[in-house]
Structure 1
Amino acid sequence: MNPTWQTGLALPLLLLPMAAAASCGSAFCTINTDWDTQTPWQDNATRLDLHMEMIHQNQLRSGTDKTTAAGVTGEHDEIKTLNRNMVASVSHAFSSSLGVTLQAPLVSRDHSHVFNGVGGPEPESWNFTRLGDVRVLAHLRLDDAQSAHGQAYGLIGGVKLPTGSTKVRNADGELAERSLQPGSGSTDVIAGGFVSGHLAQTGWHTQMNWQHAVSERQDYQPGDHVSLDAGVTYPLGTVHALAQINLLWRGHDSGRNAEPADSGGKYAYFSPGLAMPVGHNAQVYGLVQLPLYQNVNGTQLTADWAATLGLTMHF
C-alpha cells in the first residue's frame, strides 16, 4: 500500500464520531476515518484533517419501519434536520507508540418541526452554526511498532468535553430541545481498541469504541453508545478504493429534559468511498454512508444517506 496514502489519511480522527439518536435528528456521521493504525508512526509527526459531514434527516421512522407524523395535540411532529458539520482535527505522534488528537466540530444545523397546538399546527424552526463538543483522545499501540509485518493493535482512550452550547434559541426565543443543541452538556469518557493489517495489496482495519457520560447538565444525560467498524482499502493506481461496515448501538437518553422513549437504537451502515493524493503530503477523500439497518426507539428522524468529504495533510 502507498505510504503516502497510509500516513496522509491516517490520523484525522482518533475518536468516536456521534450518530443520529434524538427524535429531532441530532447527528454526526459514524464513518471511521482513523486509518493511522495501518502504518508505524513517525516521532514528532503532526497531521491536520479538515472534513465536512452532511446528513439530511427527513424520514420519520418507528422501529425499523418508515412512518408519518401522528398529529397529536400538545405534541410536536418532526419534519427535518439538515446537519452540515465541519470537523477539524490536529494529531501529534509523540513516539512510535503514542499519538494524541484534539478534535473540534463546528455544528451547522437547520431543524424544523410542527407543534400541534389547540388552535392548529404551529411551525417552529432553528438554524444555527456553533462550536460543538471538543474531544481529546490518546491512541496507544501495543504491538512492536518497528516490525515489518504490517499489523498493528492497541487501545484508544479519551474524553469529550462540554464545550458546545446547550442554550441555543430560535428567532422567536424558543429554546431548542437538548438533543438538538450543538453540545450535550455532559463530560464523556471514551474507550476502545483497534486491530489492523494487510492481506496482499488490501489494507484492513477494525475498531471498537464505547462512550459514556459521567456528568450531566440541566437534567439531561445522553445515552451510552458502542460502535464497531470494519474497513478495507485497495489501490486502483493512484486512487484508493475505500469500504466500511459501521455498526452502532445507542442507549436511551435520560433526565427530565431528555426524550428517553424517542432516543437510541441500533444501526448498520455500508460506507464506500475513494481517496486520492494531492501533492506529496496531502490526500482528499470522500465517502457515502448508506443505511443497511435502522431500528430506532420510539419515533425518530433518520436519513437515507450521509456523506463525508475531507482533506488530510501531514508535516
Structure 2
Amino acid sequence: MKKLHRVAAMLAPLALALPSLSWACSSCGCTLNSDWASQGFKAEEGLSLDLRFDTFIQNDMRTGTGRVNTSGITFPTDQEIQQRTTNRNTTLAADYGFNADWGMAVLLPYYDRPHSTIAPGDTDISTSHSSSIGDLRVLGRYQGFSPERDWGVQFGLKLPTGRTDVNFSNGPQAGQPLDRGLQPGTGSTDLLLGIYRFGSINENFDYFAQALLQVPLTSKDAFKPGVGANLTAGVRYLTDGPVVPHLQLNVRTERRETGANADAGNSGATLVYLSPVVTWSITEKLKAYGVVQLPLYQRVTGYQLEPKYSVSVGLHHAF
C-alpha cells in the first residue's frame, strides 16, 4: 500500500494536469485547449518539464444544445457563418516544487491556427492563419493544510503575452482584424483561483477532483472575456506495469464576452467532455501520455463552432 501511495504521489502532477476545457468559446472558433501542467501539483521537491501537442478541428456548428445544418444557408446573411478552425497547439510547462507544501508552475502555449469564415453580408470565404505564442500562465500552490497533503489551493495570473492584432489574410475581409475570440491572446490579465483534492479509493484505484476559476481583471481595446470555471474529476487504475489508464470528466462553463468588440451574442457556453487517458513510464523520470477528449454535452449561446473530438500527446520529465 505504501508503494502504491508513492506511485500515486509521483504521478499526481500529471493526473491533475490532464485536459480541462479552455477559456473562451465564441462563434469565432476560439481554442478548446487541454490545460495540463498549469493545473498540476507536486508532492515532491524539484523541477519537472512538460511538452504537449494538442490538435482538434472546429467544424461542428452548434446553437443551444443542437447542431446547425449550414448546407441549407443561402448567402449573404446578416449572421457570420464560421466554416472551419484547425488548431495545432504546442505547450511548454515548467513546474517547480520548493518543498512538500509550496510549488509553482509556468505554462506558455504556441498556437498554429488556420481559420475560415463567411462574414455578414459576404458570399465568399475569408481566411486567416495565426502562428504565435499565447498568454502566459503562472500558478502557485499550497498543500500543507493536512499531514497527508492530499488537498491544496492554487492561485496565480494569466498574463497578456499573446497577440491581439492578427488580421484576415485573404477573401473579402482581407486586412480586417480577426475576431477577438480567435486572437492568440485575450489582451486581459486574469486572476486564477483553484482548489484540488486527491486520494486512494483502494489498493488499485485513486481519484482526484479540481475546480479552477478564471476572472478577467482588465480589458483591452473594448474587449473582455467572460468569467470561466473548470471542473475536473478523474480516476486512475494503478498497476505494477509501466502503463496507467485514467478516465476523466471535464466540465467548462463560461459567461459571455463584454465590450464593443466582443461577440456577446455568440459567446458563453457550458461544455462537458469525457477523456480517456493513458500514461506510459518510459523510464523512472520520463513519461509519455495520450488523451482523446470526447463531448458528452454542449450548450452554447448563439452560433459557435465546436470540435467533435480532440487529441493530445506529450512528454513529462522530472529532474
Query: TM over 0.5: same fold?
Result: yes
1:131-165 per-residue CA deviation (whole Å, 9 max, x = no partner) reads: 100010001103345x4xxx601111100000000
Match of 2:157 among 156, 159, 177: 159
Aligned counterpart for 1:178 among listed residues 167, 180, 183: 180
1:51 deviation in Å?
0.3
C-alpha displacement of 1:40: 2.7
1:290 partner letter: L
Q: Residues 212-259 of structure 1, C-alpha deviation per residue, up to 9 Å, x if partnerless?
A: 101000000000111111011113532000110011111000011011
1:217 to 216, 220, 224: 220
2:38–2:137 contact (8 Å) kept in structure 1 = no
SS across alignment from 2:265: helix
How many residues align structurally?
A: 306
Query: Could you tell me whether the CA contact under 8 Å between 2:34 and 2:54 is conserved in 1?
Result: no
Moved more, 242-251 or 135-144: 135-144
Task: Please state if 1:59 is matched with 2:60.
Answer: yes
Name the CA distance, whole Å, in 1 between partners of 2:96 and 2:268.
Answer: 34
Judged with a 3 Å threshold, the aligned counterparts in structure 2 of structure 1 residues 17 and 41 are, in CA distance, closer, same or farther, namely: farther
RMSD between aligned alpha carbons? 2.3
Q: Name the amino acid aligned to 1:251.
A: R
Which structure 2 segments of 5+ residues have no match?
A: none
Letter in 2 for 1:228: L
Moved more, 163-172 or 283-292: 163-172
C-alpha separation between the residues in 2 aligned to 1:280 and 1:101? Answer: 21
Alignment match, 1:168: 166
The SS at the match of 1:163 is: coil
| Runs of 4+ deviating beyond 4 Å | 2-6, 11-17, 30-37
**Which residue in 1 is equivalent to 2:244?**
240
Q: Report the Cα distance in structure 2 between the residues aligned to 1:64 and 1:100, rounded to whole angstroms.
A: 38
User: C-alpha displacement at 1:30, in angstroms?
Assistant: 4.7
Identity fraction in percent: 29
Q: Are the structure 2 counterparts of residues 157 and 228 from structure 1 closer, same or farther at C-alpha, using a change threshold of 3 Å?
A: same
Question: Among residues 297, 301, 304, which one is paired with 1:300 in the alignment?
Answer: 304
What is the correspondence of 1:16-35 to structure 2 with a 5 Å cutoff?
18-19=22-23, 21-30=25-34
Q: How does 1:1-315 map to 2 (within 5 A)?
A: 1=4, 3=6, 6-7=9-10, 10=13, 13=17, 18-19=22-23, 21-30=25-34, 37=41, 40-42=43-45, 45-69=46-70, 70=73, 71-117=75-121, 121-144=123-146, 147=148, 152-171=150-169, 172-200=174-202, 201-236=204-239, 237-315=241-319
Query: How many Å separate the matches in 1 of 2:19 and 2:221?
Result: 26
**Which residue identity does 1:80 align to in structure 2?**
R
Over residues 20-56 of structure 1, what are the superposed CA-to-partner deviations in whole Å (9 max), with x where a residue is unaligned?
A: 511021113356567855x6322xx001000011121
Moved more, 106-115 or 14-23: 14-23
Cα separation, 2, equivalents of 1:14 and 1:308: 10
| Rounded Cα–Cα distance in structure 2 between residues aligned with 1:278 and 1:78 | 42
TM-score of the two chains, using structure 1 as the length reference:
0.90
TM-score (norm 2): 0.89
Q: Which amino acid letter does the alignment assign opposite residue 52 of structure 1?
A: F
* 1:258 aligned partner, one-letter code: A
- Cα distance, 1:33–1:292 mapped onto 2, change above 3 Å: farther
Quickly say closer, same or farther: Cα 1:309–1:47, change in 2 above 3 A.
Answer: same
- SS in structure 1 opposite 2:124? strand
Deviations 1:50-107 (A, max 9, x none): 0011121101001000003444534421001111110110011111101101110001
After TM superposition, give the deviation of residue 300 of structure 1 in Å.
Answer: 0.4
